[in-house]
Structure 1
Amino acid sequence: MDILITIASSFVEQLQKPTLAFLIAGMLLAAAGSKFEVPEPVYKFIVILLLLKVGLGAGISIREADAITLMVPAIGAAFVGVAIVMLGSQTLARCRGVAQVDGLATAGLFGAVSASTLAAGMAVLDDSGIAYEGFIGALYPFMDIAALVTAILLAKLAAARRVGATGTLNADGTISGGTQGHVVFDDRTDRANLVSGILLDTCRSPAISALLAGLAIGMLAQPDAIYHSFYEPLFRGLLSVLMLIMGMEAWSRLAELRKVAHVYIVYGVTAPIIHGLIGFLVGMLAHEMTGFSAGGVVLLAVMAASSSDISGPPTLRAALPEANPSAYVGTSTGLGTPIAILSIPLFIALAELLI
């Protein structure tokens, strides 16, 4: 009972932090029918600045990080991304009323990472005085790309089996040639082409590109001065505006869920917590193996709980045009994102109890 009281009190305390307060305020504004609006170019500019900041900080920290200390949580992050999609393929994608491609696209989005949620987690930990590894932002692409590649690959292979086409998978994921009958692939070549095509598309997305650019500059150059004088001071202010936008977007997306099966609502509510606990468990293993910090464990859980809101949707739209955006974007932005952000205090409380 004392443990539950501790978690509840910590949760309420964290809700009062600026980051979470702005998210809730945005949802309340949208619910009240406010005409408040941030222009789309401004939103994109804020996101790019935040991703550059996260990438630069991670790159600067990687220069001084031990390879083993970095690689263990990186491999763990990739494992979590794949595990979330595989779990979704056996649960959501098999539910009645859910098209398999829609279920896999939704699982892929939930397995990928939300830059805004990761940034929110960092801000909450900073406000609480909880330390974490500076290279934590470098784990983003490991989980993000692993999840998107797995989801798209599973969806393409499932589509090929449904069509029953004897043909080959092209690099862009399309199927060429063939007739009705047994599915035949030149396994290694076709799957390699499909995976490489997905990897290229994902890495070229604005979010991953900005993050990788920041990582490279932080590792190979000396951007410390501009990082501390420009990016660091702007971080919390820009994040507060982004959280306001995310709150309003989440509320508006809830209407889209009426167009799809109710099981998406159940998934959107429960998946962030379940996925976050998977990430927390993997983070605990990294903690035991390498001394991964409590803050690092929390942020790995936050990344796992989050669902991609920047790199994922355009990647899925391009790779799986037959999937229904109302299903995967509505579930992710309407429910997954706010619940993931509001669950940050839960993972902090668990870390305080166990580490």
Structure 2
Amino acid sequence: MGEILSLAATNLISPIILSFVLGVVAALARSDLTIPEAVAKGMSIYLLFAIGFKGGAGVAAHGIDGTLVATIMAGLLLSFILPFIAFYLLRILTPLDLVERAAVAAHYGSISIVTFVAATSVLEGRGLDPEGYMVAVAAVMEAPAILSALWLVSRGNGNANVDAGLYREILFNGSIVLLVGSFLIGVITGDKGLEKIAPFIVAPFQGVLCLFLLDMGLVAGRGLRDSRKDLGFGAVIFGIVMPLVGSLVGLLAALAIGLSTGGAALLMTLSASASYIAVPAAMRVALPEARPSIYLTLSLGVTFPFNLTIGIPLYAALAGSFVGG
């Protein structure tokens, strides 16, 4: 417990977390502080490209082996299974109807790439470098949860509008294309390619991440401020409990595969995070009757800050205890 508290305290006073807190406070205080949408989009593109390229270069140095394949398969399986856990947990904790439970559940089977990036930064700062191919695991965990949620609605005689357009939106979502594409460029060019553009994607990374999390804090704060009436106490509890449940499932998978401490902590983080980019876009098409004020505020306004402040240090400490290192 002492190690977890120490890690949490260190994490809370990091520039990354404090930038997020600044954004939340500014939004709750109704400050006119804003990040232009074009700038926020540019930072998002930069972060996705940087993390994908570095992950690909890591795979090139590591090589393809059974552990890599097993980890990717585990990521796919986790993304399919976690929505079912979330769905039934929501039934216990909230009065939400079937469609809204499924929409929320989809977010908690998919992943938050920003949480992934923040966790990677924290782990590398502690000398717990995760396997480079974890970025590929993040990419494959984006979409399967959406299909699980639509199956849950279909089974319950809901109205799931599944068509070719939705599948195309899932598979060719911009964040997935950029992440996978930059990852492949990193695999092809390897360490030599990374060395050439390191001044661009390595040195500025932390500063760009701070500004991006400032913007995320502004968005989360506005969501909490404007959507409190739509969130019940049970939903908020779910937004904290589900990441803990997901992280434990991720830990079991990491132990079965034999990941390093950093890799295990990162798989736990992926399993504990909740999407607020790819899945909301899909839900607007597939389940338009589900309220964004529920699923988006839960994922971005409750689970995202929980993971940033408490979750990531907790997952790192648990991984250290069970995996070692």
Residue pairs, 1:66-85, within 5 angstroms: 66-85=64-83
Question: What SS is found at the alignment partner of 2:133?
Answer: helix
- Match of residue 138 from structure 2: 140
Larger radius of gyration: 1
TM-score, scaled to structure 2 = 0.90
Q: Do 1:277 and 1:301's aligned partners in 2 also have CA atoms closer than 8 Å?
A: yes
Amino acid at match of 1:215: F
Kindly state the Cα deviation for residue 308 of structure 1 after the two structures are TM-superposed: 0.9
- Match of residue 279 from structure 1: 250
1:346 matches 2:301: no
Q: Do 1:60 and 1:224's aligned partners in 2 also have CA atoms closer than 8 Å?
A: yes
Q: In structure 2, what is the Cα distance between the partners aligned to 1:226 and 1:35?
A: 40
Q: Which moved more, 1:143-152 or 1:107-116?
A: 143-152
Query: Structure 1 residues 332 and 76 mapped into 2: Cα distance closer, same or farther (>3 Å)?
Result: same
Residue pairs, 1:27-176, within 5 angstroms: 27-63=24-60, 64-93=62-91, 97-158=95-156, 161-162=157-158, 173=162
1:293 matches 2:264: no
- Structure 2: which 5+ runs fail to align? none
- Match of residue 309 from structure 1: 276
- Match of residue 23 from structure 1: 20
Q: In structure 2, what is the Cα distance between the partners aligned to 1:24 and 1:261?
A: 23
- Match of residue 169 from structure 2: 201
Kindly state the Cα deviation for residue 95 of structure 1 after the two structures are TM-superposed: 5.5
Question: What SS is found at the alignment partner of 1:98?
Answer: coil
- Supply the RMSD in Å over aligned alpha carbons: 2.1
Number of residue pairs the alignment of both structures matches:
318
Kindly state the Cα deviation for residue 66 of structure 1 after the two structures are TM-superposed: 2.8
Q: Which moved more, 1:215-224 or 1:81-90?
A: 215-224
Q: In structure 1, what is the Cα distance between the partners aligned to 2:158 and 2:312?
A: 40
1:240 matches 2:210: yes
1:210 matches 2:181: no
Residue pairs, 1:243-262, within 5 angstroms: 243-254=213-224, 255-262=226-233
TM-score, scaled to structure 1 = 0.83
- Match of residue 296 from structure 2: 329
Q: Do 1:115 and 1:309's aligned partners in 2 also have CA atoms closer than 8 Å?
A: no
Question: What SS is found at the alignment partner of 1:134?
Answer: coil
Q: In structure 1, what is the Cα distance between the partners aligned to 2:238 and 2:167?
A: 27
Kindly state the Cα deviation for residue 310 of structure 1 after the two structures are TM-superposed: 1.8
Kindly state the Cα deviation for residue 198 of structure 1 after the two structures are TM-superposed: 4.5
Amino acid at match of 2:101: G
Kindly state the Cα deviation for residue 70 of structure 1 after the two structures are TM-superposed: 0.6
Q: In structure 2, what is the Cα distance between the partners aligned to 1:93 and 1:200?
A: 30
Q: In structure 2, what is the Cα distance between the partners aligned to 1:88 and 1:303?
A: 15
Q: In structure 2, what is the Cα distance between the partners aligned to 1:58 and 1:300?
A: 14
Kindly state the Cα deviation for residue 272 of structure 1 after the two structures are TM-superposed: 1.6
Amino acid at match of 1:73: T
